[in-house]
Chain A
Amino acid sequence: MVKELKIIGKSTPKLDAKERVTGKSVYGHDIELPGMLHGMILRTKYPCAKIISIDVSEAKALDGVMCVITAADVDVNQIGYKRDHPIFKSKTVNCNRDEIAAVAATTKEIAKKALSLIKVEYEVKKGIYNPFDALKEDAPKLNEFSHDKFGNKNIGESFHYEHGNIEDQKKLSKVIITKRYETSRVTHCCMATSNITASYSKLDGQLTIWASTQVPFLYQRDVAHALKMEPSKIRIIQPIIGGGFGSKLDMLPFEPICALLSIKTGKPVQLLYSREEEFIASPTRQPMIIDLTTGANENGKFTFREVKITMDNGAYTSWGATTPFVMMQTYSSLYQVPACSFDAKAIYTNNPFAGSFRGYGNPQATYSIETNIDLLAKELGIGKDEIRLINANYKGEITGQGLNFKTCGAIPALKKVIEESKYSQRIKSQISNSKSQESGRYKKGIGLASMLHVGGGAKIYRSDGCGTRLKIDHYGYLTIITGSNEIGQGSETVLAMIAVEELGIPIEKIKVINTDTDVKPWDVGVHASRTSFVAGNSLLGAIKLIKEKLNKQAAKLLCIENSDFIYQNGSMFHDDKEIKIDKVVREMHFGLPNELCVVEYFYEPPSSFQDKEFKGDVSGNYAFASQAIEVEVDTLTGKVKVLNVFVSQDVGRVLNPLALQGQIEGGVATGIGFALTEEMIYKNGMLLNPNFHGYKLLTSMDMPDVNFYPVETYDDAGPYGSKGVGEAPLIPTAAAIANAVADAIGIEFYSLPLSPEKILKALKEKTINKVLSI
């Protein structure tokens, strides 16, 4: 039996919603410190060139300029996950983002003027913008700091994984399908552009940084390494963050640069990206070329998956190069897969480097797999819904990679979207009546896709844990000091809800402190949809401890045996006795033997590290989801309209329905953009559309209805049985849309986005082929 709960499971508005809706929240852009200077960065004019000379003398002489720095002025370490990235470039530039100099001035106008006075002489070189060109024998070494570990000078990172016997499985296969899939480069488009304010005090050598990072403790370490400082001398404060989505995982050069400007001038310095700079110099999703072969036997059971992934690493290595960790889970374990072989390589080019983005490689992987599944079903002549149900993951399954599905909502989620979307009545390619031969301009179709993602954190760093400190004051107010962060996803609110549930303290009397590394305990950061899971479990552990304290004190005051109390409305109850929490705490503080009502707890998820072969149960639990999406293709313009989205997701248990639905809708919207409209267009390493005019985000007019059906599987590992939810909703969206478009017009596409031009071209070719074949 699942326990009835008081507030968990009920829609609760965000704790800070009032601040945000009245414009009172202080984002990084809103910070103003006394004497603050404005920093700006000069970036390269060419994506690939030798730097002959840099002359900053005129910029330095400009009134109001306090400092100009280049590589020659600073003593720093290289940054990035592979430490292959100098923060200032002095000899060569290798991509369009490269930083050459930075200025700090009294106003933004002066800073801008100063940049225009810096003279840089380049010797332009022919760059390499295609990863396959970079692999050629005669290609130059593109990153001089790469480690040359993988048999080719331009391979920055490489992964190999396998399970089962591919050759045996090939023999058992009735159909085998091989396709190459390509995904485009898209970017986060956080509505608040990247920003940082840094303030260094020469008096005590203390550096305070207001930074929009998702991972403050890793960030503190990274800044310290870059600047050759002691990490504990650096205090990271997170202002309100205007969107994260994975973009704030890597520390980028502008961050230590801003700190350096403050160190050099002794004044606070703020550096804000313009939108154009945001497009050019903030992270992107890793573009991939995926060569996938899959097989199935005559009963429709999958036999094997063999995949080779070529990732464009760009000029330097970011966290984006580690997306194969997530992708190999999808290839090895989304549906039952008897054998799998996975290779992924990140290849240096002169394109910008990527980064992490909500889903972490999984949308790309899922897109390729789910499109291939439709092809297998077609070849075998079985239903596209049926083939998925035959192969779906199940409770108790331990996959080839060692993921242990102690709970699993894959089949219920699939069945739900199939049923609600009336998939089998709508899918054209499977209905042979005349309706399927509809003529006319608009053609409808429906597509199906599923996904698997970590739901209980992911052990990739040495600790995937989270610390919590709790304090109840003698007025009965609770302060939760948590290692975790809020980036708009609503985790603060979930924590407060958990405290209300367990301690009966009203939500107005709960404060969450989570923005200051000098105050809060360790946590690895917001990623892998982990926050509610890890921080929630940590909080529950701390609550247990504080209850023990309160119970003991209350029992003493009520002269009863130490025992359990019921917590409600700020009071504790035992049989017919009641005592207020604030009174208990007062007695604790002021009565002998005076003690504090303070506890701390550290939660480390029960997940394990992967072994050298990348096998192991990396997450506390796993999330499953399916989507069925209906589209309409305008055959005259090539435009795809998404009509209806059906989402069913195994969330373990619903904690806050309002916030959950918001995560689902937001994720689906980003997924639709990835499928249809978003693409960063580069020509020889330069971005051609660095603005919202050329880079098309969805608007309110494009958003379809989203029908959401949560599946509750009550997983023992998660708080109240819950699982992580944040990334899942965008993962299968592009795949389902691609399948729907194929169903609508009878043409399969193997690259994203499905732009009107691409669709028109394919329709034209189809007509020509038809004519030719008559």
Chain B
Amino acid sequence: MYNMVEINFIINGSKMTKRIKPSTLLVDFIRDDLKLKGTKVGCMEGECGACTIIIDGTAINSCMYLAININGKNVTTIEGLGTVEKPLDLVQEKMIAHGAIQCGFCTSGVVMTTKAFSEKCKNEDKIPTRDEVKKSLEGHLCRCTGYIKIIDAAEAVYKKQ
């Protein structure tokens, strides 16, 4: 039988303990074990960004990360952004308002990257330039929108906060 290991972590604000196979990929753990299907899989090679989530404030590709590495960490997926009182985060509101969503398959990842980057900018008290915004989204592939509306939406977030 497999050697199972125990991991403790916070996911979308709740503490959790799970036993997993050490070789489990984080994206599979999130989608198949935790049933959080909002995180998407586009390539499993770290190339498309669809699987992006936030760990301790940093956006990462969950397909390139082993689940055991979230032990002791704070994980946020797309499901963790809104609250019952306020179901949409500012990033999500701006994505909608700027028409940044077509098929929506890249959207979860784009939102998570933008969220992490916006928190970082807020902490550093800076508004990124358009080129910096573009750069921050470089790891995301989107076949529908041509990126412009996504970049516009992200810029609107940084300006608003």
- Which positions in A face B, CB cutoff 8 Å? 11, 13-14, 16-18, 20-27, 29-30, 32, 188-193, 240-245, 274-275, 487-490, 658-659, 661-662, 665-670, 691-693, 697-701, 703, 705-706
Chain B residues positioned under 8 Å from A243 (CB to CB): 103, 105, 143-144
CB distance from A707 to the nearest CB of B (A): 11
**What CA separation (Å) do A697 and B111 show in the bound complex?**
20
Q: Which of A13, A659, A667 sits near B96, CB closer than 8 Å? A: A13
Chain A residues positioned under 8 Å from B143 (CB to CB): 188-191, 243, 245, 666, 670, 697
**Can you list 24 A-B contacts (CB < 8 A)?**
A14-B96, A14-B101, A21-B92, A21-B95, A22-B38, A22-B88, A23-B79, A23-B107, A191-B103, A191-B105, A275-B43, A275-B44, A662-B99, A666-B145, A666-B146, A669-B147, A692-B48, A692-B141, A699-B147, A700-B137, A700-B138, A700-B150, A701-B134, A706-B146
**Docked-complex contact B92 and A241, CB < 8 angstroms:** no
**Docked-complex contact B147 and A700, CB < 8 angstroms:** yes
**Docked-complex contact B144 and A17, CB < 8 angstroms:** no
**What CA separation (Å) do A706 and B149 show in the bound complex?**
11
**Docked-complex contact A692 and B43, CB < 8 angstroms:** yes
- The verdict on A22 contacting B102 (CB below 8 Å), with A29-B40, A691-B43, A697-B141 known, is no
**Nearest B-chain residue to A668, judged by Cβ:** B146
Task: Identify which of residues 89-117 in chain B touch chain A, using a CB-to-CB cut-off of 8 Å.
Answer: 92, 95-99, 101-108, 111
**Docked-complex contact B42 and A699, CB < 8 angstroms:** no
Chain B residues positioned under 8 Å from A192 (CB to CB): 40, 42, 103, 105
B26 in contact (CB, < 8 A): no
Interface size class of B (residues with CB under 8 A): 35 or more
Chain B residues positioned under 8 Å from A698 (CB to CB): 146-147
CB distance from B76 to the nearest CB of A (A): 12
**Docked-complex contact B104 and A240, CB < 8 angstroms:** yes
CB distance from A405 to the nearest CB of B (A): 29
**What CA separation (Å) do A24 and B38 show in the bound complex?**
6
The interface bits of chain B over 18-49 (1 if a CB of A lies within 8 angstroms of the residue's CB, else 0) are 00000000000000000111111111110110
Q: A240-B103, A488-B102, A658-B99 are in contact. List 16 more A-B contacts (CB 8 A).
A: A14-B99, A17-B95, A20-B104, A22-B87, A23-B36, A24-B38, A25-B104, A242-B40, A245-B143, A662-B102, A665-B145, A665-B146, A665-B147, A668-B146, A692-B47, A698-B147
B50 in contact (CB, < 8 A): yes
- The verdict on A21 contacting B146 (CB below 8 Å), with A13-B96, A193-B42, A699-B138 known, is no
**What CA separation (Å) do A675 and B99 show in the bound complex?**
26
**Nearest B-chain residue to A29, judged by Cβ:** B41
**Docked-complex contact B104 and A700, CB < 8 angstroms:** no
- The verdict on A275 contacting B42 (CB below 8 Å), with A189-B143, A665-B149, A699-B147 known, is yes
**Docked-complex contact A22 and B99, CB < 8 angstroms:** no
**Docked-complex contact B148 and A665, CB < 8 angstroms:** yes
**Docked-complex contact B107 and A20, CB < 8 angstroms:** yes
B54 in contact (CB, < 8 A): no
**Nearest B-chain residue to A488, judged by Cβ:** B103
**What CA separation (Å) do A32 and B36 show in the bound complex?**
12
**Docked-complex contact B44 and A693, CB < 8 angstroms:** no
B78 in contact (CB, < 8 A): yes
**What CA separation (Å) do A21 and B114 show in the bound complex?**
12
**What CA separation (Å) do A190 and B147 show in the bound complex?**
15
CB distance from A491 to the nearest CB of B (A): 11
**Docked-complex contact A23 and B103, CB < 8 angstroms:** no
- The verdict on A22 contacting B81 (CB below 8 Å), with A243-B144, A662-B99, A692-B45 known, is yes
CB distance from B47 to the nearest CB of A (A): 4
**Nearest B-chain residue to A244, judged by Cβ:** B103
Q: Which of A11, A190, A191 sits near B99, CB closer than 8 Å? A: A11
Chain B residues positioned under 8 Å from A26 (CB to CB): 37
- The verdict on A274 contacting B87 (CB below 8 Å), with A700-B150, A703-B147 known, is no
Chain A residues positioned under 8 Å from B42 (CB to CB): 191-193, 275
Chain A residues positioned under 8 Å from B95 (CB to CB): 17, 21
**What CA separation (Å) do A192 and B102 show in the bound complex?**
13
**What CA separation (Å) do A661 and B145 show in the bound complex?**
9
B142 in contact (CB, < 8 A): yes
Chain A residues positioned under 8 Å from B147 (CB to CB): 665, 669, 698-700, 703
**Nearest A-chain residue to B151, judged by Cβ:** A700
Chain B residues positioned under 8 Å from A693 (CB to CB): 45, 47
The interface bits of chain B over 48-88 (1 if a CB of A lies within 8 angstroms of the residue's CB, else 0) are 10100000000000000000000000000111011000011
Chain B residues positioned under 8 Å from A240 (CB to CB): 103-104
**Nearest A-chain residue to B103, judged by Cβ:** A488
Chain A residues positioned under 8 Å from B35 (CB to CB): 32
B135 in contact (CB, < 8 A): yes
- The verdict on A22 contacting B82 (CB below 8 Å), with A668-B146, A691-B47 known, is yes
Q: Which of B40, B88, B140, B151 sits near A18, CB closer than 8 Å? A: B88
Q: Which of B88, B98, B141, B144 sits near A699, CB closer than 8 Å? A: B141
Chain B residues positioned under 8 Å from A700 (CB to CB): 134-135, 137-138, 140, 147, 150-151
**Docked-complex contact A191 and B106, CB < 8 angstroms:** yes
**Nearest B-chain residue to A670, judged by Cβ:** B143
**What CA separation (Å) do A276 and B80 show in the bound complex?**
31
